[in-house]
Structure formats: structure tokens, C-alpha cells
Amino acid sequence: MFLNFIVKPYMIAYNAFQLYGWSIALFNFGKGIAASEFDVRASQWTGETAAYITFFQWLMLMEVVHPALGMVRGDPLTALLQVLSRIMVVILANVLGAPILQDGFWVNCVIFAWSLTEVIRYSSYIASLLDVKIYVLTWLRYTLFIGLYPMGVSGELGVFAGAIPFLERLENVKSIPSTYGGTQQWLVESGMYPFLLKIGWTGVIMMYVIGFPYLYLYMVMRRKSVLGGKKNKNGSKGGVSATKKTN
């Protein structure tokens, strides 16, 4: 009882904070695309949009901690696979900047897919924690992923495709131009540079070949269980448990 008294308010606050951040990112993306006259190749990984996505994506590491501590239902490994692949993209986008963002199509796919997915996901979590059932929100969460998830993965692979050949041509990692002044040291200090060079493009593809079907089928099964069409005792369709979040 005491733990529930602490955990539930914390989870509501955490999800509300994430909802705020991703909503700002999505709004800025829409504003930027409109300003570019809907040129999908004009990179929106700039300024406030990049800063918000970077911060809230790193914060998402807490979603590995939450299920590990039993605060929510879910598989920490599943959460870790999702978060790490995204953090790798964030680091590359911030560190390399122009060399991989000249054609902004792929990073724009990442921004749109991530932001819209998280706005819906965190809204659903908050509603669940507050014992508010909004079927439309639940339907959006377990339906839009069908297109948004492949879009996001395609965008991530596009970013890697632009980054790896560039990294392979470098003789000195310190010569990498950075949009965030000096943060190219992340490639050395975080182990990203030797890691990416070692596994190369083939390795990255294999990571997604193994991880994507597992995570996608997991969501498909969740969709079937939540939106299976069966009615509960109150006559409403589907639903999500309001006691603990499922990652």
C-alpha cells in the first residue's frame, strides 16, 4: 500500500513530463515542416527540436529501470533494445550533424514516428494510471504503431547508413564536425566510434533483423489481446490495466 502511494504519483508525473517533452518536439516538427513548405528532405533536427528529443530520449532509460524494479509490468530487455537503438541515433545525429543530415528525409521519419508514438503512448499511460478509459486513445496506441514503427526503424537505418561510411573515412575522430561543439568526443568516450566501425553496416542491419521482428510481433500480440473485439463485463471493448504500466 505504501509503495503504491509513492509509485503511482511518481509514474503519473514521469509520464506527464515525457508527454510534455514529446508534444513540444512534435509541435516544433510540424511547425518546421510547414515553414519549409512541406519539404520532407529539409532536416528538422535543429535547435529546440533536437534538444528536446535528445533530453527526453536519454530520460527514457528510466523505462528500463521501472520494470527492473517491479514498478511496472514489462520486460526490461525489450525496453533496453528500444532505448539503446534510439540513443545511438541521437548521438550520431548530434555528433555528426551535417554529414548525415544533408538529406533530412530519414531523420525526419525518426522525429515524426518517435514523437507521435510517444505522445499517444504517454497519454495512454496517464489515462490508465488515472483509471480513465478512452477507447479511441487505446485504439490509436495499438493501431498506429503498424505504420509508425516501420517508419521509425527505416529512419534509424537511414541515419546509420549515412553515418557509417562517413566514420570509416575518418583518420582522426577529433576532426568530426559537430553541431553541438566538441561533443564528437562522445564517439570515443561512449565507445560508439570503435563499436560502429567494428560491426559496420552489416552488423547494424543484423541488430535490426533480430530486434525488429521480436518487438513488432510483441506489439501485434498486445494489439490482439487489447483490441481483440471481446467485450468485458461492462460491455466496453478492450482496455488497459490501470494499476501498472506495460512497456
Catalytic center residues: 149, 156
**174: CB partners within 8 A, 6+ apart:** 184, 185
Other beta carbons less than 10 A from residue 209's beta carbon: 9
- Output DSSP code: residue 97: -
Distance CA 191, CA 207 (A): 17
**173: CB partners within 8 A, 6+ apart:** 184, 187, 188, 193
What are the distances in angstroms from CA 140 to CA 130, 150, 179, 223? 18, 16, 35, 10
Are 108 and 101 spatial neighbours (Cβ–Cβ below 8 Å)? no
Are 222 and 142 spatial neighbours (Cβ–Cβ below 8 Å)? yes
